[in-house]
Structure 1
Amino acid sequence: MGCCASRTSDNTPPAVLAHSSSRNITAPSTRPSSIPSPRASHASQGNAHPPTGRADADNRPNTPLKPISPTQRSRLPNTLASPTAKSSSRVQPLTDSTHSTWTRSRLVKEREDWWDTQVTGSEQIWGAIRLVAQHLQAGQLQEAQTMLDVSDCTCPTGLLWRGVYDATGVQYKVPEWVVVEPEGLAEEDGMDDKDLAGDASASAMQETVEDTLADDSGSLIRVKVRTSHDQRDHQVVMRMRDPVAAIIEKLKKQAKLDPTLVIRLAYGGRIYEPNDVLEANARWNFANNYILTALVFQ
């Protein structure tokens, strides 16, 4: 027979375990320290980190996107470390790591190359993030936030270049210079006669290609388009040279969508402009029955 003090009182209420869903979404993150550091550059590791678990993704803080200040400036890749630095975290330009002069045209090319070389993670998510960046650069904060919400991504800091997470907890990192206007851009060099001749030749070649393709413009084909809001596939009948804007209008009618909805088409991580044709994306091939993603803004 035990001591009275050792007996468990029948009046002691049972312990109640707090459900994880009751945690404030703005509470500090409790993610384990084993998550890869987001500070490493794209030169030393991939930009989409492995998932950290569904429960962890549910508890991750989410902050509305913040606009880019007109006076904010980023640093160009080759200014993040001295030319003699041997650190593995040094960021190198993707197209010309030996040339220290950055012009506007080079910045555009480097940004395009950066987006095109992201092979980890989901192509659809990269495409959505690219569109978010474009809206932020244009000062369209609401459109950028809508795009992020449509893709089911979260941004713990409200700053796109500090990382966003998809629904499975995978982190996607975009360098600040890809989104924010950088400092230190040099003036463009003047074009000489040789450059002008080259441009004229390229223009003439483009016209020849377009004339050749025009012969096939009347052929009707089907393309598969998947709408982002309901993940449904639609077979849209089109002509090979139809602009994206025409494809979107046909999709709206076929899928019985609100005519006022804003829709953007994407494939392979690239967002089409309304006047583009599908083959403007070098990865597109009509013969391979690829699936276009229709990003629906509701």
Structure 2
Amino acid sequence: MGCCFSRSSGPNSPYPGGDLTTSAGAINPPPLTLPESAQSAARRGHAGANTASNHRSAGNQTLADNSRRHSRQQRPLDQHINKPLKPFSWISKDRLWTRRELAQERRDFFDTRVTGRAEIWQTIHAALQAMWEDPNGADGVALAQTILSAAEISLPTGSLANGVYDSLGNYYPLPQYIVCDPNNVSEDSDVKGELPTGVDDPQAEDISEDMEKDKHVVDVTPQVTLRARLSENARDYQIMISPSETSRSVARKIANKASLSADKSIRIAYMGKILKGGASLASQGWQEGHIVNALVFDHKA
């Protein structure tokens, strides 16, 4: 009897219907099922998230590619932009300059340089002197370019008024009045150390006069050996000179030794300074055994 009463299908069964799985179904309810519309929305949202993720990945890859391509196109840090030297022109609007004032200001400027390398300032001064002596001609620019190139001085814009860089990356700023005279400069014939345009320097000897003197005057001064480095090919040439011989005469000897053509001439530079043609090397600080720079430039056609 007891067995009969424990059966779930009897009249006293607490689970009518006799379903053996009723209690299990009550304890473990069926999994929640979303409506079809919600399932479609969820699938669309998942697909959109994947698409956005793909777009972000593609965008990041594009940025990385552009960054790598840009880094390849960048100029190495040890290289500087160097453009050919070009003439500079300007008009003074806040001051009326005279040639006397310009000469004094330029002397004071180079005497008071305390930053950068002293030899670079001397080279810049020599290049500017070449342009000051030939402000309206191509010879001055060509000679100045040769001087700057020999010292590995670079011009980022091609204009000295925008400053220059040395081989170590040091910057050397140059004011406008240092580079050249303003177009509205006041002529002053009494300027000490400078002569008006078109007036010859009385201390400078004419080349033809030097040649005539060489024919008639026998120099008995002991000869010394001079070594000159030619800017055109970086070769050294040795010649015999007299300590009292003019720089212009020495330049002719170097040109003959190097077999330069007649359309080229030489200016001698020593310690970053262009030597005066009418004075001897010794009187301008040259010491026996020191190398001088022979700067070659073409005559204006």
**TM-score interval for Structure 1 and Structure 2 normalised by the shorter chain:** 0.5 to 0.7
* Counterpart position of 2:136: 139
* Count of aligned positions: 211
How far apart, in 1, do the equivalents of 2:125 and 2:230 lie? Answer: 17
Given the superposition, is the C-alpha separation of residues 278 and 63 from structure 1 closer, same or farther in structure 2, using an over 3 Å criterion?
same
Out of 82, 87, 92, the residue aligned to residue 73 of structure 1 is 92
- Asked if 1 retains the 8 angstrom alpha-carbon contact of 2:119 and 2:271, the reply is yes
Q: Deviations over 1:182-210 (max 9, x none)?
A: 678796889xxxxxxxxxxxx9xxxxxxx
Given the superposition, is the C-alpha separation of residues 270 and 180 from structure 1 closer, same or farther in structure 2, using an over 3 Å criterion?
same
How far apart, in 2, do the equivalents of 1:110 and 1:140 lie? Answer: 24
Higher mean C-alpha displacement, 230-239 vs 143-152: 143-152
- Asked if 1 retains the 8 angstrom alpha-carbon contact of 2:85 and 2:159, the reply is yes
How far apart, in 2, do the equivalents of 1:276 and 1:186 lie? Answer: 28
Given the superposition, is the C-alpha separation of residues 155 and 253 from structure 1 closer, same or farther in structure 2, using an over 3 Å criterion?
same
Question: Which sections of structure 1, spanning at least 5 residues, go unmatched?
Answer: 7-11, 26-54, 80-101, 191-202, 204-213
How far apart, in 2, do the equivalents of 1:111 and 1:215 lie? Answer: 41
Deviation at 1:266, TM superposition (A): 0.9
Given the superposition, is the C-alpha separation of residues 290 and 146 from structure 1 closer, same or farther in structure 2, using an over 3 Å criterion?
closer
State which structure, 1 or 2, has the greater radius of gyration over its C-alpha atoms.
2
| Structure 1 runs, 4 residues or longer, greater than 4 Å off | 14-23, 116-120, 182-190, 214-217
Deviation at 1:267, TM superposition (A): 1.3
Q: 1:13-32 to 2 correspondence within 5 Å?
A: 18=69
Report the residue type matching 2:91 in the other structure: Q
Deviation at 1:217, TM superposition (A): 6.5
- Asked if 2 retains the 8 angstrom alpha-carbon contact of 1:132 and 1:144, the reply is no
Report the residue type matching 1:126 in the other structure: Q
Out of 249, 271, 276, the residue aligned to residue 273 of structure 1 is 276
Does residue 1:218 correspond to 2:221, yes or no? yes
Identity score, percent: 26
Query: Which is bigger in relative contact order (C-alpha 8 A, separation at least 6)?
Result: 1
* Counterpart position of 1:286: 287
* Counterpart position of 1:108: 103
- Asked if 2 retains the 8 angstrom alpha-carbon contact of 1:74 and 1:180, the reply is no
Report the residue type matching 2:237 in the other structure: H
TM-score of the pair, normalised by structure 1: 0.53
Give the number of the structure whose residues are more often helix, by fraction: 2
Given the superposition, is the C-alpha separation of residues 147 and 66 from structure 1 closer, same or farther in structure 2, using an over 3 Å criterion?
closer
Deviation at 1:220, TM superposition (A): 1.0
How far apart, in 2, do the equivalents of 1:121 and 1:270 lie? Answer: 15
How far apart, in 2, do the equivalents of 1:226 and 1:293 lie? Answer: 5
Please tell me the root mean square deviation across aligned C-alpha atoms, in Å: 4.5
Given the superposition, is the C-alpha separation of residues 20 and 274 from structure 1 closer, same or farther in structure 2, using an over 3 Å criterion?
farther
